[in-house]
């Protein structure tokens, strides 16, 4: 039997340095790859949270626009909307848009959807009281038409429409369509409004 001589690695100092450097390089590369995967998963989760918020805002907008597009003579003049996502930080409706906000890991996500129809964030009773106060007791229903130019009524409605209604996402949102009757000499016209309230 012959003895085979093998070089001993512990005697060759250059080999130890090469081994240490290559292992360190592998560890650094592993850290970079793992952090990239972590960042991708975080970005994906953020994208998913934004998509969920957009879907919720779109659902509320569609519910409001569905009532706005219905005829006052139709059976369906009102509806309710219930939020599916219970993690929404704020839900706001104005006469122009729906805005939802959500906090996730210190990041605030927003989703804003414009409304198609004239929308006022009020109950019908409150709307009628505002109109009666401004127009000598005439609240704009069929029996008490408002005898002014439409522009005057629209100006008051636009001021009310700019106000924000902060919704409680744990409660139902009520949506209904109502007319305001205006009298111009002998002609009676109507303005159709969508009311949103809780």
The rounded distance, in Å, linking the Cα atoms of 182 and 191 is 8
Say which range, 16-30, 159-173, 180-194, has the weakest mean pLDDT.
16-30
DSSP conformational letter for 142: T
| Residue 32 maps to a domain | no
Tally of domains in the chain:
1
The rounded distance, in Å, linking the Cα atoms of 139 and 182 is 10
| Residue 5 maps to a domain | no
Expressed as residue numbers, the domain containing 168 is 37-197
Strand partners, 195: 120, 176
| Residue 177 maps to a domain | yes
Q: What is the DSSP string of 49-83?
A: HHHHHHHHHHHHHHHHHHHHHS-TTSS--EEEE--
What are the tens digits of pLDDT across the range 131-158? 999 888 888 888 888 888 778 888 888 8
| Residue 3 maps to a domain | no
What are the tens digits of pLDDT across the range 76-94? 688 999 998 888 889 999 9
């Amino acid at each position: 039997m012959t003895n085979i001589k093998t070089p001993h690695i512990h005697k060759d100092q250059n080999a130890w340095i090469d081994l240490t450097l290559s292992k360190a390089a592998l560890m650094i590369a592993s850290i970079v790859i793992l952090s990239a995967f972590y960042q991708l998963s975080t970005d994906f989760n953020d994208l998913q949270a934004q998509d969920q918020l957009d879907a919720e805002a779109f659902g509320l907008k569609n519910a409001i626009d569905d009532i706005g597009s219905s005829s006052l003579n139709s059976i369906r003049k009102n509806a309710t909307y219930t939020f599916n996502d219970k993690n929404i930080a704020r839900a706001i409706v104005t006469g122009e848009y729906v805005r939802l906000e959500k906090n996730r890991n210190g990041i605030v996500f927003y989703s804003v959807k414009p409304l198609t129809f004239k929308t006022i964030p009020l109950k019908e009773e409150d709307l009628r009281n505002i109109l009666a106060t401004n127009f000598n007791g005439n609240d704009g229903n069929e029996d008490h038409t408002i005898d002014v130019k439409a522009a005057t009524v629209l100006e008051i409605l636009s001021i009310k429409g700019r106000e924000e209604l902060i919704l409680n996402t744990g409660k139902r949102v009520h949506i209904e369509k109502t007319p305001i009757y205006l009298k111009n000499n002998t002609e009676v016209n109507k303005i159709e409004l969508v009311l949103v309230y809780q």
